[in-house]
Copies of this chain bind each other. A is one copy, B any other.
């Protein structure tokens, strides 16, 4: 029993069913006028021929592909891997297909036009580090674009992000309440809004208690650089008594350096806080205090935002912020009540 090597078209179904191509088309178009009788005959013929409508042809005719482009990157970071899965899931729920572009490749510039050439209806960019220039190029193509976990200063493109400032503030409050005074920050990449805002939130929160961030290093959002940054910070004198990292991966790097290399007890000698509440953060060996970004909600909002633009056709820029929640675990001291 071999399947249909050759592609079978609506014309053949029409012929077999003894109707016109239009009838076939209507049968497969939800909410179109077809009598029960013809519908039945068409479906029967389609079944026999293993027919199913050609989405490519439909796209051409409808001038809309039903495809959404996702430009992913940093899939080695669990947060972005999970984000991709969540976005895909949401888009699939809305019946959109997904054209994936992984941006870690060098020749990204040539890949974007390629994505566009497939007539994607819209684009989602879940990325802290993609050049902002890219978003503008996409926007210029006339399709709705939504940035996730990052925004642009000039607000020229829609975005959904977590409340990074609020998250940073919550961390500040926790650290101060648990007796810390020398608080350091490990940033991600400098030009990302997420890292910048988390730092700002921390600074603001500390300022309320007359404290300033005592030191700062950059960790590029990855484990290795995070470890290096921590090494720098912990070599200072006086040593910080708390480190807030712009994401979990860096925090785990810092945690390792603190325990393994400096023999510090966490949280007695040093408190460490991450950001993202990735699955690993909850594992017994880490028990990392962190901030939950509510990744699922972010994905939902992003897709909703995009789908709304797609359905209604209006093209307003919108900027949504999803609240963040502090998750206390074992890398910070218990807060006195």
Interface residues of A (CB under 8 A from B): 1-5, 7, 52-57, 59-60, 63, 65, 67, 70, 72, 75-76, 78, 81-82, 84-85, 88-89, 92-93, 95, 97-102, 104-105, 111, 113-119, 139-142, 223, 227, 252-253, 255-257, 259-260, 279-280, 283-286
Contacts of A142 in B (CB 8 A): 2-5
Please name the 4 residue pairs, one residue from A and one from B, whose CB atoms are nearest each other, closest first.
A3-B140, A81-B81, A88-B102, A55-B117
Show 22 residue pairs from A and B whose CB-CB distance is below 8 angstroms, ordered by the A residue: A2-B140, A3-B142, A55-B118, A56-B65, A56-B119, A57-B60, A72-B85, A75-B84, A76-B78, A78-B78, A84-B102, A88-B100, A88-B102, A89-B102, A89-B105, A97-B114, A98-B100, A100-B100, A227-B284, A252-B285, A260-B285, A285-B285
Q: Do A92 and B105 touch (CB < 8 A)?
A: yes
Q: Do A256 and B280 touch (CB < 8 A)?
A: no
Contacts of A286 in B (CB 8 A): 285
Chain B CB within 10 Å — which of A1, A4, A280 has the most?
A280
Contacts of A59 in B (CB 8 A): 56
> A22 to chain B: closest CB distance in Å?
19
Contacts of A104 in B (CB 8 A): 85, 89
